[in-house]
Every structure is written in structure tokens, then in C-alpha cells.
Structure 1
Amino acid sequence: MTGRRRPSSRPFRAAVAALCTAVGASLLSGCGAVLSNKSDSDPIIVMTWAPEGTKATNMPGMPAMAKAFARWVNDSGGIHGRKLEIVTCNERNDAVQAAACAQRAKEDKAVAVVGSYSQYGRAFISPLEVAGIPYIGGYGLTQEEFDSPYSYPVNGGQAALLVGNGRQLAPRCERTALVRPDTIAGDDLPQLLNTGLRAGDRADARDVRAPEDAGDYSEQATTALEGVGADSSLGTADQGAALENSCVTAALGNRTGTFFDSFRRVQENHPKVRIASILGGVRQSLIDSTGGASSPLEGTYATGWYPAGDDPRWNSMKKVISKYAFDDNRIDPDDPGTQTTWIGYTVLRSVLMSLHADDISARTVRDALDNGHAVDTGGLTPTLRWGYGDTLHVPNYSRIVNADVTYQMVRDGQLVAVRKGFVNVSKILERYHPAD
């Protein structure tokens, strides 16, 4: 851990709330009153942002999925007859641009930001709070997404994934190394993984920091192997016995495939080390492109938020993609970013349909969610609601309402579930204590 802790934004939020009360909601856009559409015939504006065309993680499928969702909704009669209009913004993996996207959401009078990706929570959440705009179904990278009262996460974020991954690996791995981004967002990951490992009575993982935009990870692969006991001075038999119950797990987003390619070359003399990841790093398209059943990813363990990609509960989403984005190769239905956007917009549509056509604004969307509006996602998550008493008691992640994960692995070239149903890691998450 680097010790780069994020200052709390709670005093700022308290000041905003006090100002709203003192001046009057009708005078301040931060209280949500100004952020409504002009009439019940105007389109309902919603924003989705994600990084595109960068050297690090890119998520073009998220805004593309948002556009496809809107085409489907509008083709089905819209929201009480009103069109759903999606405004997209390229976040560029940049804090300044993330803040600019949030400011644009205010300028465009968006009623919500939905299904978006950014690792710069501090940069975008404060402008949204000032504007009174809810953040629904963010990817789950940052602490701010699970701390701000204006955020409505649909999954347990990287917190649930890392804790779940540690718990999944604990019965199989006596020693574990974690390769993760050397970023502020990445600094929390080792302690989260260790919380899961400790729940299975395993020692903490070796923390291996890595640049998020590298083209080769041979150095990090070597460090990870050394962290789980690789020793070139041992004979082959002794080395094999030492590594038989060792695991290396990676959480590098789109660069996870690049890491595994480097790891495969370095691993040739240590074939018994098992590999693992959180979903987003291992996806079916990567397995297919690296050989399918003969892929070096065969046998990889993975922890995800949602059912495996071949689960029939995804059929509705796939039908929408097929009809309204059939030629858009940015959308991968097995990508958790695409899936999160689908679920985030499912939440938004449910809320909007519960409101009157002429009473749709950022404020009324927030009010509905804060008052416990329940959303059925067709079994892709538990029923989602963010009312009083629905959030879990997780230190630094007070907005989590869904701590379910799924355990998957690559078997015969397919990413499949290894156990039926979800695994709820809420009790393990409650043991998490951020490092100083």
C-alpha cells in the first residue's frame, strides 16, 4: 500500500445539503429543481461516459450499450411517450476529463449518469453532487461510488470482486500473488483480496504493482512467481511440489490479457502455478482469441458480479444487442462493462416508468431511489433498492446493496460457473479494514 488515501468529501456534501436547505430547493440546481426537462414532450436526457481510444483501459461498449438500450426503449414507446436521449462523453482515463464529463451532464440537464466507467471518483462525484445528478450503475472502481449519497451502485464493485476472489482461491492456494495497477484505485485491492484469503485461513498475498498501460509485464510476472515461491535454485521435482498449490491472480482490467501473455512465457519452467482474475480481465472473447480449449487460460479461476455469459438470464440483453446494435463490434455481451450498463439502464427505466411524464428530473429520480424503489433485474442481481436500511455495513463502502458474486472458471475453452447461484460475501466484506 502506498498510503495515498483519499480525503473525505463528507464535509463538502454536508455544506451542499445545508446550503440547499437554507436558500431553498427552488433556487439551486444542486437541489435538483433546475435539472428537469421543459415539458412532457421533450426527450429525457441521460449521460453515459467511459474511456475510449486510450493507452490504458478502454470501455467503448458501455456508451454503445447505452445507445442500443435507448433505441430499444424508444422503439417500444419511450418513457410515457417521451424519447430517451443518450449523451455520451469520452472520459479518456483522465481526472480533468472525468470532471468535464460531469460538468457537461449538468449543462445538458441530464436526469442521471448511468452505466459509466471512471477510476477518478473524486473528480466526477463532487460536480454531480453539486448539480444534484444521481450516478446509477457505475462500474464500481472507486470508493466514492460506494460512499456518495448520490451514487446508486448495482454491484459490489471491485471490493466484492477482490474479497470474493480471495475466498474463491483460499481452498486452492497456499500462497497467492496479486498483480494490480499502481494507481490510487488499485491501492485498495491487496487489502480487499487479503480479507477474502484470511476468511479462508490463508496468508496475505504478495502485492505486485504494475503500470496500467504497459505492453509487456515480464518483470511483474517474474516478481509474482517469486512471491509464491518460485526458486530457480531448486530441482524440478522440488520446485513443482513447492508451486503446486500456488496462485497468481491479476486485476489489470483490459491489460490482464497482456499480463497473462507475459506470464505464460515466464511461467514455462513453473507450469503448476494456477492463474486467476476478476471478470473484466478474463472474458470469453479473450479465451477464444487465445486458442479456445487450447488457450493458456484453460483452468483459470475468475470471480464475477453476474451470471456467466452463457446464462439464459442474459437473453433479453442479447436480443436488444442483436436487433439494435447488430453491426456494432464495440459491444461484447460477455463484458462486465456492457452487462453493468444494461443493468444500470434497467434500473433507470424502472424508476422513470414509476414517475409521471411531466415530473421527471434528477431530483425525482433520486427521491424515488432514496424512498426504496425496488428494481427486478430478471435474476441478474438480487432485487435492487437503496432505501433506508437496504445498504450493507461495509467500512468505506456504505452504499453497497448487492454483495453477491459468482465463481467461474475456464473449462474446455468456455467461461462457466463452477457452482450454482450467487455467493454472498457481505459478511466477509464487513471484516474489511482499510490499511493506514
Structure 2
Amino acid sequence: MKRPALTTLSVAALSVGLAFGLTACGDSKDDGETVKADSSVEFTGTPIKVMTIAPVDTAAINTPEIITAAEAATTTLNNAGGINGSKVELISCNDGNDPNTAGDCARKAVSEKVAAVVGGFTTNGTAIVPVLEKAGIPWIGGPGLAAEELSSSNSFPLVAGAAGFVAIGARTVADDCDSTAMVLYDVPTAQKAADLINLGIGGAKGQPAKHIKVPTTTTNFSAVAKSAGESDCAIVGLPNDQIAALAAAGAAQNEDTRYYSVQGALNQAVLEGANGAMDKAVSAVNFVVASDPAWDEAKKASSEIDWTYPYVQNTWAAYQVLKEAIGTEKDATAATLLASLNKADAITAGGLTAPIDFTKEFPVPGLNRVFNPNLQFVQANGTEIESISEFSDITALFAG
């Protein structure tokens, strides 16, 4: 198999592929609570302003849980005395799922003199990164969807981004899938995601996957499930409800297909919606599973949030990295934080991920800011998501 070249253009596919699993994200629990600020805490240092950007109340992608996660993270830090005695002041910005509004968020970050943009979710990184870069503001834990996020010297993503597509493709071969299908929305950039999946399959000496292109208006997944069922395994990159509908349709037709999903598309909502049809589905992720004790503080901070969503996890983790990177610095500004991040070589986000080295760029053009090529595979077991491997550096999948 001829292996497709990885270019900056290829990375643009992430805004389609990884966003698939987040489109339906944001259905907060109705019976939960989020930690309240302790008014008795006194702060001794200069406040540290930060911003988290996410789309809320739009006609398409909505991730209000990400803002809730940011609020829970900052309140938890502040209730413990802040960072070195300085209160963390959160500015949340709704990008409206629109590049112009996203650019406005970035410009607000500059005018408010934030020390960093932290976590968040947006498919409009192209409008955000250049503004932050010009102002010298770091972005810790961006979603890694835009090419600029994976190339800018001010970007410090915690997720592997495109590497996850390659990894999940290789995994199907390791699991003895003699034939594999890719179920992706029929949009122009989805072909780039398909190329990355096939890069992983080809590197593992497997046969190219069949690309099943799903119209974005599809509501009946019987025909899609039948087509996917012609392969041993199927890699899916669709919104939560559509993944559940696909799996349910396959089960109704007695299809015996094993499902794999891109990062973000295997979570509690998918498992519950599929009513058992996604059992044993596999995905590749950068964070320890939500059942790990490392997430206990996050769960204590907010029971409103479904902590199985990787990009909700990413935002909480980004705030832990903020604290790690500031260290003992008493005057945390964008400049001092950027300098600290550039020297950080053993970031762990409080044990939520394998160690991340921000001093070592990824050796693939267009993916050079992928600092965390360490992924583990997880599997659905009933309504639980369990780890089935140790973290492993997948850089070698890009060799040759």
C-alpha cells in the first residue's frame, strides 16, 4: 500500500473527524452539582486571568460541559488558595461555532491580558491561534483540530490529534480484522481522515479500509449498518446519536461487526444510546479512564459532568498543567508561563496522562506540536469504559 504523505493539509481533517464524537456532547446531567467558591479564602498574589473557549447554544456543536469543567477546575484551585496565593480568574468565551466569533474570543483574551487560554473545544482554531501567537499567549490543552494548533510555537495540546487516527487503524490489524470499513460523514475533508486511518492500517500490513460515506442528513442507518457489516470491523467517526443508531441498526440485522471509534466518540452517552450494541467497541485515548482514581478530584468538583468525554477530560487536565507549569512563579504572566512551558519536560496533569515533554516536538511535518503520542486503548464493557492496554508511544507508526 502506498502510504499517504502527512502534510498540514492532512491535519485539517481533524476538525471533521475528531469533532464527530463531540457534536452531541454537552447534555449535562440534571441532578448534579458543581463545587461552589469558598468566600473565606484570602488571596495574596496578583490574579491570574485565563480563558476557556467553547461553543454553547449553537445550531451545531455544543459543549457546555466544557465550560462547567473549567469552572469546576478554577473553583477547586481557588478553594485551595489559588496558585501560589493568586486567584485564578476564568473568562469563558462562547465561540458560537463561528470563526469570526472565535477570533473575537482570541482578541478578548489579548485585551484582558490573560496568562493563557486553557482547555476548551472549538473547530475554529485557525481564527484563534494567530491572534494568540502574535500576543505571545500560550494555549494549554487546545483540542488540536486546526493545523495551526499543531504547528504554532504557542500551542501546547495534551492530545495526540491525528496520531489517534493512525493508531486506531493499526489496532484493527493487531486485532485480526481481515477487512475493515470506515464510517465517516460524506464531507470533503473526511477523505483526509480516511488517509490517516489507512496509514495506520498499511503500516501494520493490513488491507486498505472500505470508506463508507454517510450523508449528514442520514436518520435511518440500516443500509449503512449492512454495508459496514460486510467487513469484520468498522471504524466510526460520527456524532454520539448517530453512532448509537448505527450500532443498534447493525444489531437488529444480526451484523457481527466489531466497532472502533476515533477519540471522543466512545463515551457514556454512546454506550447508553446503543443499548448494548457497542459492547467491546475500542478506542484510543490520551487520558486514563474515567473510573481511575486520578479523576476522583474532578468528580468531586462536579457531578454534573460526564467525565468520560475526552475533551471534557482535556479541559480539566489542562488546568492541572497550568498549575504544574506555573510552579512556584509568583508573577504568572503570558510571557513567564510561555517560557516555563517551553522548558517543561515531565508534565503529567496530576497523573491523568503519561508524562508529556513540551521540549520535544513530534518528528512529522504539520504535526510537530503533538507532544503526547502516548495513547492507551480502551474498550466498552457494558456501560463502562475500561483500559485494555498500557500507554504506548506510537511515533513508530509514522516511520517509513
Identify the TM-score tier after normalising by the shorter chain. Answer: 0.7 to 0.9
1:55 & 1:122 partners in 2: Cα distance? Answer: 20
Deviation at 1:138, TM superposition (A): 0.9
Which of 53, 58, 64 is equivalent to 1:54?
A: 58
Deviation at 1:124, TM superposition (A): 1.2
**What amino acid maps onto 2:295 in structure 1?**
W
2:241 & 2:226 partners in 1: Cα distance? Answer: 17
- 2:382 aligns with 412
| Equivalence map 1:299-338=2 (5 Å) | 299-319=280-300, 321=301, 325-326=302-303, 329=304, 331-338=305-312
Deviation at 1:210, TM superposition (A): 4.2
Contact 1:143 1:396 in 2 (8 A): yes
Contact 1:351 1:373 in 2 (8 A): no
| Equivalence map 1:24-423=2 (5 Å) | 41-157=45-161, 159-170=162-173, 171-182=175-186, 186-210=190-214, 214=217, 216=219, 218=221, 222=223, 225-226=226-227, 230=230, 243=231, 246-252=232-238, 255-265=239-249, 268-269=252-253, 271-291=255-275, 295-319=276-300, 321=301, 325-326=302-303, 329=304, 331-357=305-331, 360-372=332-344, 374-387=346-359, 390-419=360-389, 421-423=390-392
Deviation at 1:381, TM superposition (A): 1.8
What is the TM-score when the length of structure 1 is the normalising length? 0.76
Unmatched segments (≥5 aa) in structure 2: 12-43
> Deviations 1:173-222 (Å, cap 9, x if unpaired)?
2222222345576453112111111122112222334466x46263xx63
1:69 & 1:260 partners in 2: Cα distance? Answer: 30
3-state DSSP of counterpart to 2:323: helix
3-state DSSP of counterpart to 1:250: strand
3-state DSSP of counterpart to 1:354: coil
**What amino acid maps onto 1:414 in structure 2?**
E
3-state DSSP of counterpart to 2:235: strand
Deviation at 1:144, TM superposition (A): 1.7
Identity of aligned residues (%): 28
3-state DSSP of counterpart to 1:188: helix
Deviation at 1:7, TM superposition (A): 11
**What amino acid maps onto 1:124 in structure 2?**
I
**What amino acid maps onto 2:315 in structure 1?**
T
1:275 & 1:146 partners in 2: Cα distance? Answer: 28
Larger Rg: 1
1:205–1:83 CA distance, 2 compared to 1 (3 A): same
Unmatched segments (≥5 aa) in structure 1: 9-39, 231-242, 432-436
Contact 2:118 2:318 in 1 (8 A): yes
Deviation at 1:102, TM superposition (A): 1.0
> Deviations 1:244-302 (Å, cap 9, x if unpaired)?
xx2221123xx1332330453266435112222124212124323543xxx21122222
3-state DSSP of counterpart to 2:330: coil
3-state DSSP of counterpart to 2:168: helix
> Deviations 1:356-409 (Å, cap 9, x if unpaired)?
23xx2111111111133542334322222312xx12202310111211111122
What is the TM-score when the length of structure 2 is the normalising length? 0.82
Deviation at 1:54, TM superposition (A): 2.6
- 2:22 aligns with none
Which of 392, 395, 400 is equivalent to 1:426?
A: 395
